Each structure stands twice: as structure tokens, then as C-alpha cells.
């Protein structure tokens, strides 16, 4: 009996050890370590090579003393791994994220990105995450998918407020990172540009159709994975 129990413990422990923090969890650690107010000054949250969640989250926070400085905090295993001054990277003019508008944790972002990859026929091993504001000040997840070799095979831009897939790179048209589909481009009506009525038009129409369907499905998935940060941080 004890041998069986020991075997079960050995089996369960590694599984528990693989449970990694989500971005929301990392922000809670930051709030406890610094202050609850610090979470309202987050510039960006990044994590690399997640399987599906990364081992370490890098959080950039605007200095609350108003001197224009930025602090970089790394969260690992539920605690602060390091804290140091840093320059702003990955956010429009250092804009802070309005956490009241956050409705998608990194686990939900992965679910949407994984579904998008499946629909586009993109195979991947790990995912890297960046949460920041876009050019309109809206919180946005940028999820980059990597092959086993580490090579990026696609990137998905997901609105962290409504869960909408606004843009993909390297997907729906092969694995060329220069192939880009955006929400604005999908909404445009076909024009009379050269090639629109030939083979190119057929290919573009098929890709746009796939992208539209994936957008619609992502909206439906958002209803299942939606997670308010405001509710989360109050618990």
C-alpha cells in the first residue's frame, strides 16, 4: 500500500510543480510586494517560451514618485525574483495599462491563440506573451508561437478587453512572418486593384474568409475564458 501511495506522490508532485503562474497571478504578487496601487501603474507584462505559461513574468511599472522612471520586476515561483530600474520597452510611449479594462488573463489569451493556430494549421510548441497598450490605449495581448526549435511561426494580437483577434502574422497564408491580416483589412471591400479578379483575389478571399470565421469563434471562446482582473485582484 505504501509503495502504491509513494508512486502516486511521485506522479502527482511533478504535475503540481508544473503549475505556473498566469499574468494575473504575477500582478497579484507585485501588488503584495509593492502595493496595490502599483498594479495601476503597469506598463507591460511579458513572458517567454511558455508551456503554456512561462516560468518567469517580467513586469514593467512606472515609478509612482513621478520622476519618469520605470521599475522592472521579475516574478518567478510565486515570488519576486529581482527588481531593478529599466527603460520602457514594448508599450506606446510608456502608457500604463488600465487594469479595470482587463478581461483576459494569459491563460485565456493562450486558449484563443491556440484555437487560432489550430484553425490556420500552425503547429507550435511554446508561446511568448506581451500585455501592453496598443496605439489607441487599449490593453492588448501579443502572443507569439514558437516551433520546437524556437523559431517563431506566428503571432496573434488579442484585445484584452473584449477578446477580439485583431491581427495575425505568419498565419492563414503560410508561415511567412511578412504575411499580415488585420481587422481593418478584413473589413475592406475588394477593389479593382491589379490581380483582384485573378488567382490572387481567390487566395485573398479564402484567407479572409478563414480569418473572419476565426474571429467569430474567438468571440465565442472569450465568453468562456473571460476573467475580470478587477474581480480577481479583490479576492
* pLDDT tens digits, 147-160: 999 999 999 999 99
Looking at residue 105, its pLDDT comes to 98
Q: How many angstroms separate the CA atoms of 147 and 4, rounded?
A: 38
More confident residue, 129 or 64: 129
Q: Between helices 199-225 and 106-120, what is the axis angle to 10°?
A: 150
Please give the pLDDT value at position 183: 44
What is the overall mean pLDDT for the chain?
A: 78
Three-state secondary structure string covering 203-235? HHHHHHHHHHHHHHHHHHHHHHHCCCHHHHHHC
Q: What is the pLDDT of residue 22?
A: 98
Highest mean predicted confidence (pLDDT) among 33-42, 90-99, 178-187:
33-42
List the grid coordinates of 219.
Answer: 468571440
Q: Give the separation between CA 80 and CA 4, rounded to whole angstroms.
A: 37
- The candidate with the shortest Cα–Cα distance to 84, out of 102, 70, 99, is 70
Q: How confident is the model at residue 44 (pLDDT cuts 50, 70, 90)?
A: very high
Q: What number is the average pLDDT over the span 23-44? A: 94
Q: How far apart are CA 152 and CA 169, in angstroms?
A: 10
Residue 118: its H or E element: helix 106-120
**The dihedral of CA 204, 207, 213, 219: what is its sign?**
negative
Q: Which residues contact 196 (CB under 8 A, 6 or more apart)?
A: 190
- Pairing between β-strand 56-62 and β-strand 42-50 as defined by DSSP bridges: antiparallel
Amino acid at each position: 500500500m505504501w509503495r502504491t501511495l509513494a508512486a502516486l506522490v511521485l506522479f502527482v508532485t511533478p504535475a503540481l510543480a508544473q503549475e505556473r503562474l498566469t499574468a494575473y497571478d504575477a500582478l497579484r504578487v507585485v501588488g503584495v510586494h509593492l502595493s496595490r496601487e502599483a498594479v495601476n501603474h503597469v506598463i507591460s507584462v511579458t513572458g517567454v517560451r511558455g508551456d503554456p505559461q512561462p516560468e518567469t513574468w517580467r513586469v514593467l511599472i512606472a515609478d509612482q514618485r513621478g520622476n519618469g522612471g520605470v521599475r522592472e520586476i521579475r516574478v518567478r515561483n510565486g515570488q519576486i525574483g529581482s527588481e531593478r530600474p529599466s527603460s520602457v520597452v514594448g508599450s506606446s510611449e510608456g502608457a500604463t495599462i488600465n487594469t479595470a479594462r482587463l478581461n483576459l488573463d494569459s491563460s485565456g489569451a493562450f486558449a484563443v491563440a491556440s484555437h487560432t493556430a489550430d484553425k490556420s494549421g500552425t503547429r507550435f510548441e511554446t508561446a511568448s506573451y506581451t500585455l501592453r497598450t496598443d496605439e489607441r490605449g487599449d490593453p492588448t495581448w501579443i502572443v507569439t508561437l514558437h516551433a520546437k526549435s524556437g523559431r517563431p511561426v506566428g503571432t496573434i494580437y488579442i484585445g484584452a478587453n473584449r477578446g477580439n483577434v485583431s491581427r495575425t502574422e505568419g498565419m492563414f497564408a503560410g508561415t511567412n512572418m511578412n504575411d499580415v491580416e488585420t481587422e481593418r483589412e478584413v473589413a475592406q471591400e475588394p477593389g479593382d486593384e491589379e490581380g483582384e479578379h485573378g488567382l490572387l483575389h481567390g487566395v485573398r478571399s479564402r484567407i479572409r474568409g478563414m480569418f473572419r470565421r476565426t474571429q467569430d469563434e474567438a468571440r465565442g471562446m472569450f465568453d468562456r475564458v473571460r476573467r475580470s482582473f478587477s474581480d480577481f485582484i479583490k479576492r
